[in-house]
Amino acid sequence: MNVLVVGGGGREHALCWKIAASPLCDTLYCAPGNAGIAANAECVAIDADDVEGLVAFATDYAIDFVVVGPEAPLVAGLVDRLSEGGIKAFGPTAAAAMLEGSKGFLKDLCASYGIPTADYGRFVDAGSAKSFVREAGAPIVIKADGLAAGKGVIIAKTVTEAEATIDAIMVDRVLGAAGQALVIEELLEGEEASFFALVDGETVLPLAWAQDHKRAFDGDRGPNTGGMGAYSPVPEISRQLEAEVLSDIVRPTVRAMKEQGHPYKGVLYAGLMLTADGPKLLEYNVRFGDPECQVLCLRLISDLLPALIATCDGVLSTMDLRWTEQPALTVVMATKGYPGAYRKGSEIRGLEAAAEQPDVMIFHAGTTTGPDGGLLANGGRVLDVTATGPTMAEARARAYAAADRIDWPEGFYRRDIGA
Ligand code: AMP
Ligand code: GLY
């Protein structure tokens, strides 16, 4: 098969690494890819958001199967456009991607089908949103309806802060079109957990659990990021809890989407709050988590490619995935300044020596090759130093031993991933 992976981060590097190892894969392309992905796939200079460019490439290069990494092209209808051209693609249609693309859509679906989530209101004007928060009080959670690259959720500690947030999003449009509408919801308390499953429209095939660390600095301090590290499995998750998440949240969602005429196909990532009243849904993502995908790929023994194809073909009930018992952990190395402004182009040395450590895999999240062949940082999150071991402590020690060997003064990383 000729396979195309769409995206250029650590998630896509992990996907390319697994797919390249599949005996089903003849030629693997990645658009746009990065310097690390180039070891596993032929990188093509097409942006992940360039739907028309990707469709044209897939047609011209006789691509048999496309795997879409990030949410934006899914919400923009890349899978629909590829299917129209007769090209099989992994990921939901635009209509099904609304589970992530519109927080209001998701909340209304939960309300209609009795899926446990925070109580909420939907708003299209700042005035009624502000009356709602004055009535409800603080703390309260304010969410931009649309995709906002992880910046769309604000937990306001006071009513004044909530009102200012509403103005910033709806009047000043600091999040652009994502802020045309708002969801305002109750603050849930508890531990957060992430559940991943493949869904073929009907059958749900749970993957392993993985947890990320969202804050930039040690001790969960500093600004929110896309994720500064992750680990799998998650020891706190019992079989009973997984059964509850499946029966109360994930399966009803899959049934609801089918009933509404938009069967969900792809990977479904449920962000959950484990409250005193049981698990509640915070959000869905219609794609793999980044960096959660990296630890899942390291723990997956089975060939990933046939499972992704079975998801598209609606035959997931015939699939079974094997996972190693060994824990996996990833440490994200980011450019100083991330998630705020940062400089691109600093040189990274010592990667080969670091990668030679036993049971270590370094995925590239944002790198490029410099004019003299050196490795340059090319993003906020730059490297995902990932390791497995007989215990989580051992996986952790291996990942940090490798990260410590990387010579990159402009980078930083948390020291407490999985601690
Ligand atoms: P989301 O994009 O909806 O996952 O929100 C990002 C983060 O905001 C979540 O991972 C939670 O930490 C937090 N969050 C979102 N909604 C709530 C809520 N209703 N109560 C408490 N925390 C929330
Ligand atoms: N690591 C969080 C996410 O991928 O959304």
Summarised one tens digit per residue, pLDDT across range 286-323 is: 999 999 999 999 999 999 999 999 999 999 999 999 99
Q: Which residue has the tokens 């999003």?
A: 169
Q: What is the pLDDT of residue 150?
A: 76
Q: What is the pLDDT of residue 149?
A: 83
Q: How confident is the model at residue 389 (pLDDT cuts 50, 70, 90)?
A: very high
Longest CA pairwise span in the chain (Å): 61
Read off the pLDDT of each residue in 60-83 and give the average, rounded to a whole number: 98
Q: What is the pLDDT of residues 80-135, one digit of tens each?
A: 999 999 999 999 999 999 999 999 999 999 999 999 999 999 999 999 999 999 99
Q: Is the dihedral of CA 138, 139, 145, 151 positive or negative?
A: positive
- Residue 57 CB coordination number (10 Å): 18
Measured from the Cα of 287, ligand 2's closest atom is 4
- Cβ(263) – ligand 2 distance below 6 Å: no
Q: What is the pLDDT of residues 36-60, one digit of tens each?
A: 999 999 999 999 999 999 999 999 9
Q: Which residues pair with 349 in a beta bridge?
A: 407
Nearest ligand to residue 285 Cα: 2
- Cβ(190) – ligand 1 distance below 6 Å: no
**C-alpha span between 192 and 239 (Å, rounded):** 17
Most confident of 158-162, 169-173, 251-255: 251-255
Which fold would CATH assign to domain 2-93? Rossmann fold (3.40.50)
**C-alpha span between 413 and 382 (Å, rounded):** 10
Which fold would CATH assign to domain 191-318? D-amino Acid Aminotransferase; Chain A, domain 1 (3.30.470)
Read off the pLDDT of each residue in 141-159 and give the average, rounded to a whole number: 90
Which class in CATH covers the domain with range 328-412?
alpha beta
Read off the pLDDT of each residue in 260-278 and give the average, rounded to a whole number: 97
Q: What is the pLDDT of residue 148?
A: 87
Amino acid identity, position 89 = A
- Residue 345 CB coordination number (10 Å): 11
DSSP 187: P
Asked if 232 contacts 292 with a C-beta cutoff of 8 angstroms, the reply is yes
Nearest to 146 by CA among 181, 172, 95: 181
Can you give the pTM of this predicted structure? 0.96
Query: In the structure encoding, which two tokens stand for residue 323, read together?
Result: 């996972």
Name the percent of the chain lying above pLDDT 90: 93
- Residue 52 CB coordination number (10 Å): 10
| 191-318 and 328-412 in the same fold | no
Q: What is the pLDDT of residue 236?
A: 85
Measured from the Cα of 212, ligand 2's closest atom is 1
Could you tell me the distance, in angstroms and rounded to a whole number, from the CA of residue 402 to the centre of ligand 1? 32
Measured from the Cα of 117, ligand 1's closest atom is 19
Q: Which of 281, 282, 287 to mutate to test the pocket of ligand 1 (most atoms within 8 A of CB)?
A: 282
The CATH superfamily assigned to 125-180 is: ATP-grasp fold, A domain (3.30.1490.20)
Q: Which of 224, 228, 283 to mutate to test the pocket of ligand 1 (most atoms within 8 A of CB)?
A: 283
**339 cis-preceded (ω within 30 degrees of 0):** yes
- Cβ(270) – ligand 1 distance below 6 Å: no
Residue nearest to atom 14 of ligand 1 (CA): 282
**C-alpha span between 274 and 116 (Å, rounded):** 11
Nearest ligand to residue 153 Cα: 1
List the chain domain ranges.
2-93, 125-180, 191-318, 328-412
**C-alpha span between 293 and 300 (Å, rounded):** 10
Instruction: Work out the mean pLDDT of the chain and round it to a whole number.
Output: 96
Q: Please name the residues in contact with 19: beta carbons below 8 A apart, sequence gap of 6 or more.
A: 3, 5, 25, 28, 40, 67, 304, 305
